[in-house]
Amino acid sequence: MANTVDTAAAGRPAGGALRRVAGLDVLGWPAFEGLAVEAFVTARGGGVSVGAYESLNLSFSVGDDPGAVLENRRRVAAAIGADLGNFVFTRQVHGAGVRVASAEDRGSGAFAVDQQVPEADALVTTDSSVVLAILAADCVPVVLYDPVAHVLGCVHSGW
């Protein structure tokens, strides 16, 4: 899982395709331009992990140094102008579980793997203070947004 990437979304305007943000390469979706949401996938560069997890590994679950993962997550948060305490991570299980994330869930899984939202492969929110985060290595991240209802969903679409 050396190629773990992160998909996170926050309530900020979109910027488009591949771009460099605070030393990190992020890939956005042009479909979100002009909407009240930003969605992106991080590339591998710009982090502090070494060895098999080299550079921007964001997963506590693969055997990387937890301190390096935490620093990598801090770098992603800083790059998008968010507080890591607003991120919500879930324990992804290659299933069909969906969890609704609210302000009370902010920080879940952001600082330690044992604090994440219970098992799910999709996170949904209507709260613009919540930053949804989905991890993907050999799976596809899917981002859904309803601009009328202001509902954001991030899905770990795997296997």
What is the average pLDDT score of the chain?
87
User: 5-157: which CATH architecture?
Assistant: 4-Layer Sandwich (3.60)
The residue ranges of every structural domain in the chain are: 5-157
Per-residue exposure over 94-116, b if at least 16 CB sit within 10 Å of its own CB, e if not: eeebebbbeeebbbbbbbeeeeb
> Where does the pLDDT of residue 140 fall: very low under 50, low under 70, confident under 90, or very high at 90 and above?
confident
Greater pLDDT, 14 or 100: 100
CA separation, residue 139 to residues 48, 55, 89, 125, 142 (Å): 23, 19, 16, 22, 10
pLDDT digits (tens, 9 = 90+) for 69-92: 999 999 999 998 999 999 999 999
pLDDT digits (tens, 9 = 90+) for 27-80: 888 888 899 998 889 988 999 999 999 999 999 999 999 999 999 999 999 998
First to last CA, the chain: 15
Predicted structure pTM score: 0.86
pLDDT digits (tens, 9 = 90+) for 101-113: 999 999 999 999 8
Is residue 8 pLDDT above 90, yes or no?
no
SS (H, E, C) the chain: CCCCEEEEEECCCCCCCCEEECCEEEEECHHHCCCCCEEEEECCCCCCECHHHCECCCCHHHCCCHHHHHHHHHHHHHHCCCCHHHEECECCCCCCCEEECCHHHCCCCCCCHHHCECCCCEEEECCCCCEEEEEECCCEEEEEEECCCCEEEEEEECC
Report pLDDT for 23.
86
Beta-sheet strand order (sheet of 5-10): 19-21, 24-28, 38-42, 5-10, 131-136, 87-88
Report pLDDT for 151.
97
